[in-house]
Structure 1
Amino acid sequence: MELNPSILEATLRMYVAELDYDIHKGIENGEADGLDHYQDEVDFFLRCWESAGGNI
């Protein structure tokens, strides 16, 4: 299975917003700098995926 980072980002946004809207807003509007940090979360997820043996 190949992961597409842009699709992963959109999916992560929807998933986190459904689980906890406050966490979603904290990632989307970084508490310290007001910047969107979803790409950082996607990058971290992809590193975890690779470490677990997933293929990208």
Structure 2
Amino acid sequence: MQLFAATGNTASQRVAEKAGFQKKGVLRNADYIRTGRVDLFAFSPVPDDLSGI
């Protein structure tokens, strides 16, 4: 399971972290939005936080 958020989208990054995901790295020029190419942060779940799922 992975989650991706644009590096400039701090609200999505906070939601991911509150949901138990941990930032793992940056994917350069990984997505396209209206204003052009953007970098994405890749998030993976923290195993200890998934024990209740």
Q: TM-score, normalised by structure 1?
A: 0.28
Structure showing the higher strand proportion among its residues: 2
TM-score by length of 2: 0.28
Q: Which has the higher helix share?
A: 1
